[in-house]
């Protein structure tokens, strides 16, 4: 007995070069209808390029693409669309000023003679929404609806053009976290309706949750393709990075137990948020602050930094610091904030300004800002953090998420802080960049800095911390160290107060 597989698309020996850059080489792959097929890999692995070859944005430099067994050549996305192959790009391509209906129907209006038949056009769009059970408010202005609804509009536009295959390129990169699940549900729904879906992402959790097949790309090469069900987080990380998981976390050296704490927190309280929190951090020690979302982790960190008011005692470097955030920063605290876009980076400003923000005083003298010294020190910090950039004058927005995060590390390091608070330092960065951020944290600790690490990723907390404070409902529910520092002990403590 043979299992029938509906192969829509076959790629044989496909390659793509851009000038001197080999983006893809020797890709053999088939794409099936009714399946969600993930392309996973680090930044620059070739995921987007592969998707673009399929939807006619680029033409392959080598190899063949066959649709229903017959070789095809697309000179443009419009030609690929004629064959039912559609890409939903990283940056949405909708007209924000126009209505949802206009955006879906544009170019597909039902005509009566030379005129658009508005009622029939609307009915045709409504029929597509009904058929796929995907409702949106047709009269809303696209610019006014949430990103996930805008994605729905793009999907409906594709469906109303009889799409057979839809490529999603990093669709969740711009989504708030509560909209990720609805988007994944949409993706599953499309496969359920018999569409072939390609899902490009570097978020392994999304891949494991929502896809049927996964193709791993590394440096433009096809590493493997197989059922998602036979992959785990670990095997994907190994495939994507080419290194075994044991190397995912750097060695951390034990702090000197004889040294006095850098930070002593005693009885820190903020009514209704956290209560009676006490702990120490020594020089060179990485202390994890773990707990469920909403347990008060970030709020405790903000209070330590002086960003929020709290009662209790905070001793830093053996003394009292002022209450204000400015006083605490001046005393040698630094923070990598949870939401780098909203709290940390000026995304449209040059890298150099982002690094020196909050340190400008250092470079000001009687004659104004010493630009040359500023650039020299920034360059040094950027090199030390492994930031990849072309020019210090490029906007932060030009960099990948991992490199944006490194800007914040460079900024923090520039102040030579005694304590670094890192709140979700690897959120939204790919696995390769994660490792370099872990190296940065371990390196700072090795140079005697005290680190307070907040993360929702248990593995990260376990892999990187010397000691972990577990918070549950605003109270310290446990302090784990050495052999006691296990995933189950951590989870038990995290859930203890709930
Ligand atoms: N239009 C282009 N011109 C030149 N080089 C490109 C272009 N698009 C992609 N590349 C290069 O091809 C490689 C793969 O890029 P890409 O497909 O965007 O990777 P991914 O989506 O996996 O991050 C990278 O080295 C990238 O710099
Ligand atoms: Mg890409």
Q: What is the pLDDT of residues 127-181, one digit of tens each?
A: 999 999 899 999 999 999 988 899 899 999 999 999 999 999 988 877 777 888 9
Ligand 1 centroid – CA 418 distance (Å): 39
Ligand 1 centroid – CA 18 distance (Å): 8
Q: What three-state secondary structure class fits 111?
A: strand
* Whether pLDDT at 465 is above 60: yes
Q: What angle do CA 157, 158, 163 make, to 5 degrees?
A: 150
Q: What is the pLDDT of residues 78-96, one digit of tens each?
A: 999 999 999 987 566 789 9
Long-range contacts, 150-153 (Cβ 8 Å, 24+): 150/92, 150/94, 151/88, 151/92, 151/183, 151/186, 152/186, 153/94, 153/100, 153/103, 153/104
**Residue bearing the CA closest to ligand 1, atom 8:** 49
Which ligand 1 atom sits nearest the alpha carbon of residue 42? 22
Kindly state the tokens that stand for 223.
């590493």
* Whether pLDDT at 246 is above 80: no
Ligand 2 centroid – CA 47 distance (Å): 6
Ligand 1 centroid – CA 408 distance (Å): 25
User: Averaging pLDDT over each range in 147-156, 199-208, 282-291, 322-331, which range is the top one?
Assistant: 282-291
7-246: CATH superfamily: P-loop containing nucleotide triphosphate hydrolases (3.40.50.300)
Percent of the chain clearing pLDDT 90 (strictly above): 58
Selected residue with higher pLDDT from 299 and 244: 299
Question: 25, 159, 157: which is closest to 100 by C-alpha?
Answer: 157
Kindly state the tokens that stand for 353.
């300004």
**Residue bearing the CA closest to ligand 1, atom 2:** 18
The pLDDT of residue 91: 62
Decide: 411 and 357 in contact? Cβ < 8 Å. Answer: yes
Summarize the confidence of residues 287-296 as an average pLDDT.
89
Cα→Cα distances 488→246, 426, 484, Å: 20, 23, 10
Could you tell me the pLDDT band of residue 2, with boundaries at 50, 70 and 90? very low
CA dihedral for 231, 235, 237, 242, sign (positive or negative): negative
Phi, psi of 375 (to 5 degrees): -65, -40
Question: 496, 487, 436: which is closest to 288 by C-alpha?
Answer: 487
C-beta of 400 in contact with ligand 1 (< 6 A) = no
Q: For residue 239, give the H/E element and its range.
A: helix 233-241
Domains 7-246 and 263-496 share a fold: yes
Domain boundaries, the chain: 7-246, 263-496
Looking at the CA of 89, name the nearest ligand.
2
C-beta of 45 in contact with ligand 1 (< 6 A) = yes
Summarize the confidence of residues 358-369 as an average pLDDT.
70
The DSSP code sequence of 284-344 is T-EEEEEE-TTSSHHHHHHHHHTSS--EEEEEETTEE--SSHHHHHHHTEEEE-S-IIIII
Which ligand 1 atom sits nearest the alpha carbon of residue 58? 1
Ligand 1 centroid – CA 400 distance (Å): 13
C-beta of 48 in contact with ligand 1 (< 6 A) = yes
Long-range contacts, 413-417 (Cβ 8 Å, 24+): 413/381, 413/384, 413/385, 413/444, 414/355, 414/356, 414/359, 414/362, 414/377, 414/378, 414/381, 415/329, 415/332, 415/334, 415/358, 415/359, 416/332, 417/332, 417/333, 417/334, 417/449
**Residue bearing the CA closest to ligand 1, atom 4:** 18
* Whether pLDDT at 25 is above 70: yes
Kindly state the tokens that stand for 258.
């004889």
Given CATH 3.40.50.300, say whether it is the number of domain 263-496: yes
Kindly state the tokens that stand for 333.
């605290």
Summarize the confidence of residues 16-31 as an average pLDDT.
93
C-alpha–C-alpha distance, residues 471 and 372, integer Å: 45
CA dihedral for 438, 444, 446, 450, sign (positive or negative): negative
Burial of 171 (0-12, 13-18, 19+ CB in 10 A): buried
Cα→Cα distances 295→136, 173, 267, 301, Å: 35, 26, 17, 12
**Residue bearing the CA closest to ligand 1, atom 21:** 48
Ligand 2 (single-atom ion) residues, CB below 5 Å: 48
C-alpha–C-alpha distance, residues 77 and 56, integer Å: 4
């Amino acid at each position: 007995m043979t299992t029938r597989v509906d192969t829509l698309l076959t790629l044989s020996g496909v390659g793509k070069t851009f000038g001197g850059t080999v983006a893809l080489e020797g890709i053999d792959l088939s794409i099936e209808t009714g399946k969600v097929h993930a392309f996973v890999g680090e930044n620059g692995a070739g995921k987007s390029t592969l998707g673009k070859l399929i939807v006619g944005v680029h033409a392959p430099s080598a190899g063949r693409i066959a649709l229903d067994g017959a070789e095809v050549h697309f000179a443009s996305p419009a030609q690929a669309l004629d064959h039912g192959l559609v890409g939903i790009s990283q940056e949405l391509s909708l007209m924000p000023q126009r209505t949802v209906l206009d955006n879906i129907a544009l170019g597909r209006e039902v005509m009566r003679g030379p005129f658009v038949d508005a009622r029939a056009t609307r009915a045709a769009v409504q029929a597509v929404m009904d058929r796929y059970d995907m409702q949106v408010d047709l009269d809303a202005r696209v610019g006014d609806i949430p990103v996930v609804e805008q994605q729905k509009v793009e999907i409906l536009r594709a469906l109303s053009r009889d799409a057979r295959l839809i490529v999603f390129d990093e669709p969740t990169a711009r989504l708030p976290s509560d909209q990720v699940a609805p988007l994944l549900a949409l993706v599953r729904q499309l496969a359920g309706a018999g569409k072939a879906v390609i899902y490009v992402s570097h978020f392994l959790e999304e891949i494991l949750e929502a896809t049927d097949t996964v193709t791993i790309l590394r440096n433009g090469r096809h590493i493997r393709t197989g059922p998602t069900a036979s992959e785990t987080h670990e095997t994907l990380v190994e495939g994507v990075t080419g290194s075994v998981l044991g190397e995912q976390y750097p060695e951390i050296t034990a702090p000197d137990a004889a040294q006095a704490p850098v930070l002593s927190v005693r009885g820190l309280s903020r009514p209704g948020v956290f209560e009676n929190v006490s702990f120490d951090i020594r020089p060179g020690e990485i202390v994890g602050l773990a707990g469920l979302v909403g347990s008060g982790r970030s709020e405790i960190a903000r209070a330590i930094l002086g960003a929020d008011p709290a009662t209790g005692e905070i001793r830093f470097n053996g003394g009292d610091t002022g209450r204000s955030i400015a006083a605490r920063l001046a005393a040698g605290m630094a923070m990598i904030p949870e939401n780098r876009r909203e709290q940390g980076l000026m995304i449209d400003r040059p890298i150099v300004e982002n690094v020196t923000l909050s340190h400008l005083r250092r470079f000001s003298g009687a004659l104004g800002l010493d630009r040359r010294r500023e650039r020299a020190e920034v360059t040094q910090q950027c090199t030390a953090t492994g930031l990849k950039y072309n020019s210090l004058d490029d906007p932060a927005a030009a960099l990948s998420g991992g490199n944006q995060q490194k800007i914040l590390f460079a900024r923090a390091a520039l102040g030579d802080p005694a304590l670094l608070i890192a709140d979700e330092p690897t959120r939204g960065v790919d696995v390769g960049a994660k490792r370099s951020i872990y190296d940065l944290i371990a390196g700072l600790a090795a140079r005697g800095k005290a680190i307070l690490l907040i993360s929702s990723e248990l593995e990260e907390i376990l892999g990187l911390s010397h000691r972990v404070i577990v918070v549950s409902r605003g109270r310290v529910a446990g302090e784990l160290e050495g052999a006691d520092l296990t995933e189950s002990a951590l989870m038990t403590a995290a859930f203890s107060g709930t």
